[in-house]
Structure 1
Amino acid sequence: MHDMQAARGASLSDAHTGPESDVRPVRWAEFATVAVLLLVIDQLTKLWAVATLVPGQPQELIGSVLQLNIIRNPGAAFSTGTGYTWVFTTLSIAATIGVLWFARRVRHRGWAFALGLLIAGVSGNLIDRLLREPGFYVGHVVDFLQLPNWPIFNVADMCINVAAVLIVILSFKGIGLDGTIDGGAADVSEGEAK
């Protein structure tokens, strides 16, 4: 095969330069590391909050800017949809499957980080909905971080919001999951390809 390429004037490295034979590694390890690390942090902080904090008795962490105030949230942000916990659980399961599906093709570090954050956040709250009181599939999410004029939230919520910002930035820049820009030209810059 080498002789045939040499005879046609093509090098061995030229055989791997097309977009369909991209040699950049799949960023599964980065995705999984971010996802697992932040999921563990989310679950440990919720365990701590449940064991330590008393509902209705907020504690100052950084003055009045950030307080610890535990609630059990059956709904979404701002406690909307409190009677539809099972719907949020179903949507979380669908979102988890969707993120895992897209993560199989990630070859860009930024996308690996964004999707890792997203899966950590979605699955962190999903675990609450599946395993916490009042029961399987209708559990209430543990929220305990409070900013002024903002709904009480948790680490999983932070992950989801940061992921959303990163996804918007990557999409605005036209960077695909595979690291190509605008769906065509390969991204060869050192910072973006990694």
Structure 2
Amino acid sequence: MDKQNIENTEIAILANGCFWCTEAVFQRLKGVKHVVSGYTGGHIKNPPYREVCTGITGHAEAIKVTFNPDIITYSELLEVFFATHDPTTLNRQGNDVGTQYRSEIFYTNMAQKAIAEAFIKELDAAKIFENPIVTAISPEAPFYLAEEDHHNYYNENGMQPYCRVIIDPKIKKLYSHFAEQLKEEYK
């Protein structure tokens, strides 16, 4: 096997509000191979969007990020995660309210758990946010893909009012604070 074709990858599962927003942010980072929107952390199998939106399923809108830790570390992903949403509001991101919009990290191994715990402790100690961080840290749960029309939403619907008002500011923040971590096609 050609060593250049073997690539080190890991999975990160993050919930921080609307998955249209989070997918758009993480797709632009160097070392991120794939981002997919879905639902996790709830109590029913294969939940449809219309039920997740009601909060009755217990699922969070989340993204599953496949990344190369030799290019972008899990800590760097968490830095972007915390910089692009409000981790101090319980079950809410802006006008999106409900448990489906909670801030939660679903670790896939014990190293990720330790990194996430230390990261939150460091942010709280440094008083980076005015209020304490409420982001939950939980073990990986079954991840159910969102319906096809939710995938790559911002890239295909960037002129929609929601994208312009809610997602554009997150992308601008990403560009201004993490320019060196952007893929070439997004610079």
TM-score by length of structure 2 reads 0.27
TM-score by length of structure 1 reads 0.26
Structure with greater strand share of residues: 2
Larger radius of gyration: 1
Structure with greater helix share of residues: 1
Q: Which protein has greater RCO, CA pairs closer than 8 Å, 6+ apart?
A: 2
